[in-house]
Structure 1
Amino acid sequence: MKYIKYLFVCAAALIIVSCNDFLGDNENPNIPTEASPEVILPNALTSTAASTRYFSSTAGWVVGIFVNAGGYGGWGDVVYYNYTTGSHSGPWESVFDDLNNYQYIIEQTEADSTQAYANGIAKVMKVYNYQMLVDFYGDVPYTGALRGSDNLMPTYDPQEEVYQDLVLTLNEAIDQFQNSEYSNSPEKIDVIFKGDMKSWILFANTLKLRLLIRVSGTTLASFAKAQFAGMETIGFLDKDVVVNPGYGEVSGQQNPYWETYVQNASGTASGSGRSSIASKYAYTFYDGTKISDRYRGKVVYREFGETPIGQLGELNNNPTAPDSPNPVWLSNYKNHVGVLKGPNAGVALMLASESYFLQAEAYLKNFLPGDDEAAFNRAIKESFRYLYEDASGNIGANEDLDEKEEVVFNVDTDLAAYLQENDENRLVDYSAAATNEEKLEAIITQKYIALNFLMAQEAWSEFRRTGYPSVANGSTNPEATFASLLSTSPRADRLPIRFLYPASEFQLNSGNVPSGVSQFTTPIFFQGE
């Protein structure tokens, strides 16, 4: 957390008070001490988009999305999993910055009915950020956190209790959206739904569904069962949740995925786009090894069929990513479809495909009434649609797609062909799954495919919860597991299960940081066997 920042704030406050006592009222109108929600909210939402990219990129190394490219060194804890308090601390820092912004909005608007929309949005986004934080680190500062100088050393709350309160916070937000009249229009400051409160209700309810499914197999099962009641009457997302404050090919204003993996606004290629390549494990869900999917494969991977692929921890024989063009293993960036849709594209916080996969699992397990097979098939269709769309939300053209063959993007046609080519493959053909466990495997495996590169943090959480997509314990076959060849994990699957608290916490809040935490033996509470 940014405790140092709080200390500076406190010091500054003391100086201001002293000066005022000596000089009287001498406020500088050009240095505001407060900001309105209208100013803070769009910046906070944009910052959360960047934090989402940060979480996804960090988790991508752990859950088999990408691996180290040949020709690069310094992989250290990435391939050995020998995490320290200095490993992967960025997500912690970035998300607490966002949380402080949302908490400020909540406090400033709590008693103002004209700002009910900003209050509700901030609550939803507070939940969104805290959920990612708990999924990475477990117990976190919560009830005593986000109070600035009033509490610089907050205690850590049990992760189960945090999750439970996050659900209740979503209930509050949904109630506000449903029962408030908005005298101030949020259209200009809402860089996600442009003031569409119905969409915010559906987002909050779908986020609630994600949380409840995640805790349904834990000690919070009875709580989850009670909270499921009536959710279907509110409804769930049928469109992607996308942040776009006006990204463009301008320094400091590019889509954060584009900036990280392709190039900056001046055209300098990103090192992240060349130092990583696709994993052989993830590729098996496209190249016919486990699933044949040349349709999404061609828009997710550049030069599909010839994409450089490797295994995490292979330091000698992994392919070297060519110098140009960038990024070598991701979809053709000139075409602006797939997972990278250009410097002006929005950043997805939640995909419609995930919404339908969540619904499918809820229906399968009788948490909610509904058709699990229909939701499963709709989820795959939504995955095709998202990948086929360009930055404007239109089905992309076929220009420059490696200039090898003419490609016509048609969601319905390609989806039908995909289903036909994988007939009786129970990871695709839901009717071929003989048991509920096989159906769950199909749901989570297809979710993994839909989240590929875009939201690896969610794929990792679902893998830890369910064990899907499946890996072969102890194997070093890159098609059977995404565990690093150089893993030091004593677990049967040779994987880590969490990240460690950052060094800043031990420096500034050492009395409250949980002790004895290990990346191999201290699970997040929803972790399966």
Structure 2
Amino acid sequence: MKKYILFLLTLGLAVLQSCDLDINENPNSPTAKLVTPEYVLPGAITSTASNIVSYNSYGAFLVGYQLPGHGISGYGSTYTYNFTSTDNTALWNNVFANLRDYEYVIKEAETDSKYLLFASVARILKAFNYQLLIDAYGDVSWTEGLQGKANLTPAFDDDAAVYEALVKEIDLAIKGINDNREAIGILLIQEYSDPLFGGNLDKWKQFANNVKLRLLVRAEGSSIDSFVKTAFGTFSDDGFLLENALVDPGYNASGSQNPFWNTFHSSISGTITTPANYYIPSKYVLTFYNGGVLQDDIRGALIYKGFPTVVTGQLGDETNNPDSPDYSWTGTNVVDGRDNARIGLFKSRTQSQPIFLLSEVHFLLAEAALNNHVLKGDAKTNFEAGIKASFEYLSTKASGSYIEDEDEDGNLVRRHNPERDFKAYVEENAGKYLADYDAATTDEQRLEAIITQKYIALNYIHGHEAWNEFRRTAYPKISGTSATATFVSISSQSNRSDKLPVRQIYPQAEYNLNPNVPKIANAFSNPVFWDAD
């Protein structure tokens, strides 16, 4: 019931925002008094979850998770990578709109101290969202950003400098939680105001450490390497969030369903969406399941319809790509005959939306340990835990339970057991260091294994993170032009040796309104600071 109430509050806030209400304007008006942090925060968190779905789609095209099948047009820049200021504008616009909500919460706490805990949570998500922008666009407006009408032409800050600022923002947020959680007069965050952790401040601090970890791992070896190496020694003693970070404002099948389902499966009325109707996976990504590179029968069947006979194609091959069979990512044998519940990627219209996977946390910890930053467990332990977490996520129902089958004695046993499935996976790939960590003989091979397994775990969930990691490490490996050896479009217009883009272009509306927006000639130059290029 509380989640349903939360969704009504979130929906109400969305209606106000759709009417162009400026929540920083007319603070004494009756309407503005209704828009307080305890109502703004849940709407902002829910928007973050929706934005992640958009980022997933943009990244999924770039790393081979998805591509348009035969019979659909309008994907010119997706094939050529010749992105302009009119492509993918929602990546910028929606995240900045989301950031304004978090900034509002932070500013409210400056004048009303009872909202200091809300401000700390908002700071964590402010850092989370700014990293999304930087990883896609590079320089952003940070110092002068989010001021609304007070500054319509903010200066842009160097992306590396903002990364440093984000780490400090996270530290400030954790300190704010510690300083204020038991202070007199402070308003605690209740379940209805927090669709991510239900007001659990310890989990918020652990999640903050996860975000900080992602920032530092990505920036290590870059122009701010000295800062990064020092910052690795400044994690709070709260530990890391060792569970999937799932947003659940009360998604429901009759009103507002899960945004991933709504985008990649079907509408509330049951109408198939364009991705479900026309998109197919690449031949390249299937090689990590069908034995081309690795054998992974269990996750292959959990993800792909008809596995191992999956309809696939190559990005940009409009002549030869086949028609989509519809719902390519609905898995094989993923329905529980007892309650009709599903596992895999598409569990339910009401499933929670992941914004940070446990598998990714373990792979980040593994890479950190590989680079001599042992924060929790060694590299091998975290590498293996990351694979197990991937099996766990895919084999769990939306309710958190599992499919059980009767064994030969009539006892119910879990169909998919992560420990058992992991063991079988390593055995069928014995000697292949991408899955069998002990088979790696160099740190470079170990890094390749970590990033490749992250690529597999993020498949069709967080495509943008897979794209970020490829640009940073060039893993998983690609080569040549064969459809099974590369995810690069055969219609690419990139002048780079790898035939890929390196960034997005700022939206035209930003150029029209702000002379300080960096002038970017094309998507093939001016990479993000952490991109070794």
Using structure 1 for the length normalisation, give the TM-score: 0.90
2:504 paired residue number? 499
- From 314, 317, 321, the equivalent of 1:318 is 321
Conservation of the 8 A alpha-carbon contact between 1:114 and 1:181: no
1:413 paired residue number? 420
Alpha-carbon distance in 2 for matches of 1:316, 1:300: 26
- For structure 1, the 5+ residue unaligned runs are 18-26, 400-405
Alpha-carbon distance in 2 for matches of 1:379, 1:80: 34
2:342 paired residue number? 336
Q: CA RMSD in A?
A: 2.3
Alpha-carbon distance in 2 for matches of 1:33, 1:410: 50
Counterparts in 2 of 1:397 and 1:96: CA distance versus 1, 3 Å:
farther
Aligned length: 499
Counterparts in 2 of 1:456 and 1:236: CA distance versus 1, 3 Å:
same
Deviations 1:26-55 (A, max 9, x none): x874x3366111110111000000001111
Deviations 1:346-372 (A, max 9, x none): 110101111110100111110235411
Question: 1:116 Cα shift?
Answer: 2.7
Query: What fraction of aligned residue pairs are identical, expressed as a percent?
Result: 39
1:267 aligns with 2:273: no
Alpha-carbon distance in 2 for matches of 1:177, 1:478: 50
Conservation of the 8 A alpha-carbon contact between 1:285 and 1:293: yes
Matches within 5 A, 1:424-439: 424-439=431-446
SS in 2 for 1:242: strand
Question: 1:272 Cα shift?
Answer: 1.9
1:298 aligns with 2:305: no
Alpha-carbon distance in 1 for matches of 2:243, 2:403: 18
Conservation of the 8 A alpha-carbon contact between 2:279 and 2:328: no
2:125 paired residue number? 125
Mean alpha-carbon deviation: is it higher for 362-371 or for 241-250? 362-371
Conservation of the 8 A alpha-carbon contact between 1:82 and 1:488: yes
Matches within 5 A, 1:150-229: 150-182=150-182, 183-186=186-189, 187-229=191-233
Question: 1:114 Cα shift?
Answer: 3.2
Alpha-carbon distance in 1 for matches of 2:392, 2:300: 13
Conservation of the 8 A alpha-carbon contact between 1:467 and 1:528: no
Conservation of the 8 A alpha-carbon contact between 1:307 and 1:329: no
1:98 paired residue number? 98
Alpha-carbon distance in 1 for matches of 2:179, 2:154: 34
2:9 paired residue number? none
1:138 aligns with 2:138: yes
Alpha-carbon distance in 2 for matches of 1:197, 1:168: 19
- From 344, 354, 370, the equivalent of 1:364 is 370
Alpha-carbon distance in 2 for matches of 1:69, 1:222: 46
2:5 paired residue number? none
Question: 1:112 Cα shift?
Answer: 4.3
What amino acid does structure 2 have at the position aligned with 1:148?
G
Counterparts in 2 of 1:398 and 1:314: CA distance versus 1, 3 Å:
farther
Alpha-carbon distance in 2 for matches of 1:130, 1:409: 37
Alpha-carbon distance in 2 for matches of 1:516, 1:196: 42
2:355 paired residue number? 349
What amino acid does structure 1 have at the position aligned with 2:387?
I
What amino acid does structure 2 have at the position aligned with 1:80?
T
What amino acid does structure 2 have at the position aligned with 1:143?
T
1:307 aligns with 2:310: yes
What amino acid does structure 1 have at the position aligned with 2:107?
E
1:66 paired residue number? 66
What amino acid does structure 1 have at the position aligned with 2:280?
I
Question: 1:117 Cα shift?
Answer: 2.1
1:239 paired residue number? 243
What amino acid does structure 1 have at the position aligned with 2:282?
S
Question: 1:339 Cα shift?
Answer: 1.6
**Runs (4+) off by over 4 Å:** 332-335
1:284 paired residue number? 287
1:468 paired residue number? 475
SS in 1 for 2:45: helix
SS in 1 for 2:145: coil
SS in 1 for 2:32: coil
Conservation of the 8 A alpha-carbon contact between 1:384 and 1:411: yes
Question: 1:155 Cα shift?
Answer: 1.1
- From 484, 508, 529, the equivalent of 1:525 is 529
Deviations 1:163-210 (A, max 9, x none): 110000000111122332254332221111111111111110111011
Alpha-carbon distance in 1 for matches of 2:495, 2:169: 38
